[in-house]
Amino acid sequence: MDTTLQYIPIMIVGFATALGLTPVSRQIAMRLGVVDKPTLARKIHTDHKPMMGGLAIYVGFTLSLLLFSPPRHIIELLAIIAGAGVLSLVGLLDDRFNLSWRVRLLTFFSAAAILILAGIRIRLFDVPLLDIPLTLIWVVALTNATNFLDNMDGLTAGLSAIASGFFLLIAITQGQVLVSMLAAAVFGSAVGFLTYNFNPASTFMGDMGALVLGFVLATLAIKLHFAAQPPGVTWMIPVLVLALPVFDINLVVWTRLAEGRSPVEGGKDHTSHRIMSLGFNQRQTLFLLYGLCGLFGSIGFIVSAAPPDIALRVGLFGLALLLALFLLMIWIRQTYQKSAAGGRR
């Protein structure tokens, strides 16, 4: 089978499962009282929304992998599925009972530790004492970043689909089967759920979906390897593909610390909120962010395929573009947003 076509069944199963289970998860959420209540301080929506769409995403992702994965990858796949399962369960409990940030953080580190025990870790320095802490930080940060980003209809699901699509494209060109399978599974399940989550959304994924997507995307970034590129270039590729969640969490944490607030305290200080403060509506903001994700994903793809000297220049250009965007967002905050509202995000 053609190397590209072999991943289509994985995408189809992930898509169909998430599409079929999302209405079921919505009914379960309503029965269990797992709903997102509108809060003026940090919410855009104005009505109660069921929040168990993450169940459909997780089941779609898991089923598509178990059906099509070759035995040689089973240990790593089981570790990824287990780590995502832990996060999905704790995310559900958080959606229902509002767990403390300490409990959530402990769960993030536990899920990251499962990956490391299975041999999945960053190998930037080839020194375990350096690479293992870096792996923990990366996985925890990305898992939380995707959760932070889940503040608008269709945002996290759409950006996850776009990012996983670029990971799939890059992995295929590099001949990496495991990464390609993971990316295809994320893409299919995210798009299946997005059918119901696109603005105006009828359901939300909740933490049980956002945490799973962030965890798997972080894992994709770790597993992606490039034989033709030096380490000084390769680290840029996943950062560029995941530019929006990486950018948003850094922007929000910096803003909250600069304003004398706790990083875990919420508010309308995310990238999406700042764009909307300029007068854009939700859909316009969503498509703009989709476009930015596509732009940085394209830059990441070019970096992965170009000769090392050109790749370095293109990568640095992409990072400089992110810095310019960061400064723009700070200016928007100071000029168009007079105050940040409280709450938890």
Q: Which residues of the chain have pLDDT under 50?
A: 1, 45, 339-345
Domain count, the chain: 1
Continuous segment of H or E residues that includes residue 323: helix 308-336
CB-based contacts of 270: which residues, under 8 Å, 6+ apart?
A: 148, 149, 151, 248, 251, 252, 345
d(CA 141, CA 145): 6
d(CA 181, CA 65): 7
Residues in the chain: 345
Tell whether 342 is covered by a domain.
no
Looking at residue 307, what DSSP letter applies? Answer: -
The answer to whether the beta carbons of residues 205 and 53 sit under 8 Å apart is: yes
On the 0-12 / 13-18 / 19+ scale of CB atoms within 10 A, 331 is exposed
d(CA 23, CA 46): 21
Tell whether 120 is covered by a domain.
yes
pLDDT for 232: 86
Query: Dihedral through CA 146, CA 151, CA 154, CA 157, nearest 10?
Result: 10
Place of tokens 């996985």: 139
* Best CA proximity match to 98, nearest among 44, 34, 155: 34
Tell whether 345 is covered by a domain.
no
Tell whether 344 is covered by a domain.
no
pLDDT for 125: 87
Continuous segment of H or E residues that includes residue 49: strand 49-50
Q: Which domain holds residue 208?
A: 5-336
Which residues, listed in sequence order, are joined to residue 49 by a DSSP beta bridge?
36
pLDDT for 316: 97
* Best CA proximity match to 249, nearest among 85, 157, 138, 98: 138
φ, ψ at 283 (rounded to 5°): -65, -40
pLDDT for 47: 63
* Best CA proximity match to 148, nearest among 51, 270, 290: 270
77-123 residue pLDDT tens: 999 999 999 999 999 999 999 999 999 999 999 999 999 999 999 99
pLDDT for 1: 45
Tell whether 343 is covered by a domain.
no
Predicted TM-score of the model (pTM): 0.93
Tell whether 341 is covered by a domain.
no
pLDDT for 6: 86
